[in-house]
A and B are shown apart, each in its own frame.
Chain A
Amino acid sequence: MLEVRGCSVRFGGVQALRDVSLSVREGEIVGIVGPNGAGKTTLFDVISGFRKPDTGVVRYRGRDVTRLPAHARAAAGIGRTFQNLGLVRGATVRTNLLAAQHLAAGYSAPAGILGLPVTYGSEARLSRRADALADILGLSGLMDRKIDELPYGVFKRVEVAAALATDADLVLLDEPTSGMGPGERTGFAEALAEFRRTFRVTVAMIEHDVPLVAQVCDHVYCLNFGQMLAEGEPDALRSHPDVIRAYLGEEVPVRLMPSSEPGRPFLEVDGLWVTYGEPGRGMPVLRDLSFEVRHLERLVLLGLNGAGKTTTVATLAGLLRPERGSIAFDGRDITEMPAADRVGLGITLVPEGRQVFPGLSVDHNLRLGAWARRRDGGYVAEGQERVKRIFPQLADRGRQLAGTLSGGEQQMLAIGRALMAQPRLLLVDEASLGLSPAITQKVFSVLDRINSEGVTVVLVEQGLAALDYADRVMILERGELVFQGSTTETDHTGLRERYLGAPVPV
């Protein structure tokens, strides 16, 4: 039904997809898995026409659609949802279900504007079909509610209803279960199977919940670094060594050092709830999260995409406001404190994807890190000296533009910039993202040294690369803390089961 052959996409210097091929047969449910930044959404964009591949062909029902624009592909029968954006905001459920039936209207746009008689009958028909769809999905009583007023689980359901309303034969679902609780996910799996029967749709879905994918999909593809790593039956794929490596990283021989003396409680988080969207009905990302970080500890926060890791550190840094719960730092309640003041107190975040200022020089990037003390020239110069001592690679590159540095050097600059604020608590979000294992190890060993100079460090990671450099591990799953313990108690097999589900004997 759908065939993607040898597609490659480049964004600037990044190869987002490299020679990717995939095929979907009529009536199948196909899953696409892979870690953060693997190119999954880009692949969906190529299939649905939002991005033209640099090379390669997309065939739908035997017809070459590579050059067709997105709306023409929708007309050909390819429907899709977007991660939490796939609806008309501010409009009612009814309006959304009517808008989704755009292609089924049966009259031309000018005829509608001129109010020609034929349009009234068509509108009535569309309305009846919307009602019927809403009935099947259990949304009947909500037709006149604005979608933004709906609780998250119901909102997701409207998204699916809209995708079905487009009357697509092939539906692409982008992370359909993100933000759902366990009960809802089970419900979703059942609903999906029923839709396939009732509507005879073929489904391709991007999903991080590998056990769920294994449950509902007939065939699974795994992407990593823009390349198709493996494909096959769901259970076989779960035990595929390449897939395990993509999710967990290279296995490093664990040489555990005796963990340092646990210090006094430094950061105390209690009952934290964070929601994206409107309070009370948005998408819950952190659910009642409580933990503490001890002084001079090295803590690593693990979890899959969407587990809430970035949200956790962003909330600690003050970039997000919790809906409920409290945060205390060094004995002081900082829940309501703005981000800039937290930096002054000694909490600094190294954001995911480095976020250096690409158009500024290395020196200027570092100087901006000392913003709070920008008038103190001596302090700034001293700080720059210190950072360049820690990262000799940056020493003779003071005038080079940050955007021209390699990924590893940018990561070092981002950490260096954070150090300019003289943090007491350093939060590092996915330092290893997109870096080779060797560079990753180098970055971690520097963080280790920074820690020994009196800085408490919280690392956020998806894979296991950081385990060697941490005293304690916390694992987040769907916004909840599911495991915490010292690094000695955590083993690869246990984590692998958490990520990919229990291994199945093949």
Chain B
Amino acid sequence: MTTTLTGRDSVVVAPPADRAVGRPSAAGWAARGAVGAALFGLVFLFPLTRSGVDVNIYTEAVIYAIIGLSLNVLLGYAGQISLGHQAFVGVGAFTSAYMVTVHEQNFVAAVGIAVAVGAAQALILGLVSLRVSGLYFALVSLAYGSMAEEWLFNISSLTGGGSGQPAPKPSAFATDHRYYYLCLAFLALVLFLDWRLTSTKTGRALLALRSNPRVAESFGASVKRYTLLAFVVSGAFASLAGALLAHNTTRVVSSQFQFQLALLFVIMTVVGGLRSRVGVVVGSAFFSLASYLFDHLHLARAVGALPFLPNLSPDIAPLVLGPLLLLFTLTRHPGGMAEFLDPFQRWLLGERAKPRRTVTIDLREPRGSNGA
């Protein structure tokens, strides 16, 4: 598309060089069906064949996906960095455990209260972000994270101190397998809310705000209000994830929420692909499962044989792998895993690209002549 605009009356906007995909053929549909069935089997049926110990780990991956989506709201939509996200998660975990154990609330009420408390603490941090921004806010969130870890999560009357707070699973979902499906249902709920967020005025307001706050204001969207809303939504999602995490491990201790977790959350969200639901979910699950996969696929031994990465234990695999993948993402594929997942997703859904036409626009007339 080249145009000089020098005294011209019209411009021709050529279609971008894009794939012109037709309807998938019958074989195409069969292949999509097979891949779709395999994915369905992996998520819904495969865990049934595994032991409770393994499923517990898969459940954690599902919860990490919710955490990733929570951070995505802040980092991806609102453009705010949070290096204290483990505190957001921890607040939810301890609130829910406290409600169930100390106040003998039922699971639903406890999770509900955890979400409310999580949203409220995020709102407070959001108010801070309106005052300090960029690097300084990153530092504030980091300090908040360590304050939560060192002090807040060690107040024995609330958190049970060093021995932690018990958080039993709800009776209807007491087995690891059942609890896994419950968490999947919550992930589906969060995905739905996130989808509606991005397809309504909140998503567009945040988009405008990230592009240029003045533009958002000129469209009538209050930068303050929508930044705070993003914090609240992110805090609610994170606390939900925290509550689910607490009941998955059945006991929460403050050492579960160390700073390195916040780092991992940021890495998994960015490597997964900011602003892509599929990317964030896959990325988060991948990092959550990294140690497990290292263990089961005997990757650790293979990596350990490399001279430049000695003594890589599965536990720290995500934190070694993470920065490397992060570097790769930032330099080569800024869209993260989503760059590869999105085309795959489009293919799987049999989505057809709309035929792109050349458009001629008459610059002299407000009512331009459109068409082929």
Binding site for B on A (CB under 8 A): 48-50, 69-72, 74-75, 79-82, 85-91, 95, 98-100, 102-103, 105, 107, 109, 112-115, 119, 123, 136-142, 144-145, 149-154, 157, 162, 166, 179-184, 186-187, 190-191, 194-195, 280-281, 284, 287
Contacts and interface: CB of A to CB of B under 8 A. Distances in A.
B109 to A, nearest CB: 20
B187 interface: no
A103 B366 contact: no
A146 to B, nearest CB: 9
12 contacts: A82-B212, A88-B207, A119-B196, A137-B367, A138-B362, A138-B370, A142-B13, A179-B5, A183-B8, A184-B5, A187-B9, A287-B6
Contact of A151 (B1, B215, B222, B368): B1
A166 B219 contact: yes
Given A154-B361, A287-B6, A144 B354 contact: yes
A136 B212 CA distance: 27
Instruction: Give the top 7 A-B pairs by smallest Cβ distance, nearest first.
Output: A138-B368, A112-B200, A141-B359, A74-B220, A70-B217, A99-B204, A115-B196
Given A102-B201, A151-B11, A154-B361, A115 B193 contact: yes
Given A99-B205, A139-B368, A87 B218 contact: no
A207 B5 CA distance: 19
B2 interface: yes
Nearest to A80: B218
Nearest to B354: A144
Contact of A109 (B7, B201, B359, B361): B201
Contacts of B208: 88, 99, 102
B359 A287 contact: no
A70 B200 contact: no
A181 B223 CA distance: 35
B217 A71 contact: yes
B221 interface: yes
B226 A181 contact: no
Contacts of B197: 112-113
B7 A100 contact: no
B281 interface: no
Contacts of B207: 88, 91, 95, 99
Given A102-B204, A138-B365, A150-B13, A109 B229 contact: yes
A23 B234 CA distance: 45
A98 B8 CA distance: 30
B371 interface: yes
B156 interface: no
A338 B184 CA distance: 56
B358 to A, nearest CB: 8
A291 B207 CA distance: 44
Contacts of B354: 144
Given A91-B211, A114-B196, A138-B365, 11 more contacts: A71-B220, A85-B212, A88-B208, A109-B226, A137-B368, A153-B5, A153-B363, A181-B4, A187-B9, A284-B4, A287-B4
Contact of A112 (B202, B214, B369): B202
Interface residues of B, number: 55
B115 to A, nearest CB: 13
A287 B4 CA distance: 8
B364 interface: yes
B186 to A, nearest CB: 15
B157 interface: no
A71 B226 CA distance: 12
Nearest to A186: B364
B365 A187 contact: yes
B3 interface: yes
A74 B219 contact: yes
B5 to A, nearest CB: 5
A153 B12 CA distance: 11
B49 interface: no
A48 B367 CA distance: 29
Given A74-B220, A102-B220, A181-B6, A88 B368 contact: no
B193 A50 contact: no
B192 interface: yes
Nearest to A179: B5
Interface centre among A119, A151, A195 (most CB of B within 10 A): A151
B16 interface: yes
Interface centre among B207, B357, B368, B369 (most CB of A within 10 A): B368
Given A95-B204, A141-B370, A48 B196 contact: no
Contacts of B222: 69, 71-72
Nearest to B362: A138
B271 interface: no
B212 A113 contact: no
A105 B220 CA distance: 11
Nearest to A198: B366
Contact of A152 (B5, B220, B362): B5
Contact of A123 (B199, B223, B229): B199
B233 interface: yes
Contacts of B368: 137-139
Contacts of A139: 361, 368
Contacts of B362: 138, 187
Contacts of A98: 204
Contacts of A157: 361, 363
Nearest to A48: B218
B200 A119 contact: yes
Contact of B200 (A80, A90, A113, A195): A113
B196 A112 contact: yes
A104 to B, nearest CB: 9
A103 B13 CA distance: 31
B239 to A, nearest CB: 16
B193 A113 contact: yes
A180 B366 CA distance: 15
A186 B9 CA distance: 10
Nearest to B232: A110
Contact of A138 (B7, B196, B205, B361): B361
